[in-house]
């Protein structure tokens, strides 16, 4: 993999022209993990990603969709042996999704058990207002020897972040996280060898437009300033973290 920049969490299939978004990542050599919110979207993502050097497709079932789509877990399970990357999966205990929290936990448990059993999967994980529950479940069900967890847009406490580090997890950081004082402090406390970057596009914006994977260069600049490193050095660190993650 020769990619210099890393967008470890982007919804390429939610851009107006999905195929063009995929092609752009490849042309600009941005390693992009194309996450899906439903397993029904995975085959097309996989088909487009398979033609590229820098884009990979992740098999997801988003916690915010569980209320309507828990039954799609069967489809998710059917596709799992065909992918190494999994996401977006996880838990969301925000007010809009709390009513499905028990179902979310049941689905996430199956997801973690299946991943552990098949070994070597890399997961991008949503944990809004549910950091403790997510960490508890991963600690129990997906040991580092069975799979790798990357916490996406992590907004838990500094103590929870430290616990995730001890459990071997990585963090994908976006610019929105750096807008918030408390989250900035958490990001500052993370070991450099666990950092990845992400956009979560198109859900984040740059100058009023939808963020694109190559915009992670802006994240690198801000993160480099925060960590008092030259951007070039941080770019290398993130690229090396990605290599370590995928070569495990
Ligand atoms: Mn997302």
Residue 3 pLDDT greater than 60, yes or no: no
Model confidence at 91: pLDDT above 80? yes
Ligand 1 centre to CA of 10 (Å) is 7
Mean pLDDT over each residue of the chain, to the nearest integer: 97
pTM beyond 0.85? yes
81 CA distance to ligand 1 middle (Å) = 22
User: Residue 20 Cα, ligand 1 centroid: separation in angstroms?
Assistant: 19
Query: What does the pLDDT read at residue 4?
Result: 85
| Cβ atoms of residues 90 and 122 within 8 Å | no
How far does the centroid of ligand 1 lie from the alpha carbon of residue 36, in Å?
A: 8
11 C-alpha vs ligand 1 centroid, how far in Å? 7
End-to-end CA distance of the chain: 14
Residues in the 5 Å CB sphere of ion ligand 1 = 88, 200
d(C-alpha 78, C-alpha 73), whole Å: 9
- Distance (Å) from CA 122 to ligand 1 centroid: 15
pLDDT digits (tens, 9 = 90+) for 180-227: 999 999 999 999 999 999 999 999 999 999 999 999 999 999 999 999
Average pLDDT rounded to a whole number, residues 12-27: 98
**How do strand 205-206 and strand 209-210 relate by DSSP bridges?**
antiparallel
pLDDT exceeding 90 applies to what percent of the chain?
98
What pLDDT digit, counting tens, does each position of 36-55 carry?
Answer: 999 999 999 999 999 999 99
């Amino acid at each position: 993999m020769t990619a210099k920049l890393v967008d470890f969490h982007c919804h390429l299939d939610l851009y107006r022209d999905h195929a063009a978004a995929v092609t752009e990542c490849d042309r600009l050599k941005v390693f992009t993990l194309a996450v899906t919110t439903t397993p029904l979207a995975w085959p097309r993502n996989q088909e487009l990603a398979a033609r590229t050097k820098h884009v990979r497709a992740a098999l997801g079932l988003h916690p915010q969709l569980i209320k309507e789509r828990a039954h799609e877990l069967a489809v998710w399970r059917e596709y799992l042996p065909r992918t190494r990357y999994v996401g977006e999966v996880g838990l969301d205990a925000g007010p809009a999704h709390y009513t499905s929290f028990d179902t979310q936990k049941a689905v996430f448990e199956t997801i973690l058990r299946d991943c552990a059993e098949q070994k070597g999967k890399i997961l991008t994980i949503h944990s809004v207002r549910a950091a403790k529950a997510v960490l508890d479940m991963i600690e129990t069900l997906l040991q580092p020897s069975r799979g790798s967890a990357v916490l996406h847009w992590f907004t838990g406490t500094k103590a929870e972040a430290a616990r995730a580090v001890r459990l071997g997890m990585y963090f994908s950081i976006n610019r929105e996280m750096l807008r918030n004082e408390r989250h900035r402090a958490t990001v500052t406390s993370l070991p450099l060898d666990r950092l990845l970057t992400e956009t979560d596009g198109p859900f984040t914006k740059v100058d009023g437009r939808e963020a694109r994977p190559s915009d992670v260069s802006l994240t690198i600049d801000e993160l480099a300033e925060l960590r008092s490193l030259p951007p070039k050095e941080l770019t290398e660190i993130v690229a090396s973290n990605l290599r370590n993650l995928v070569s495990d």
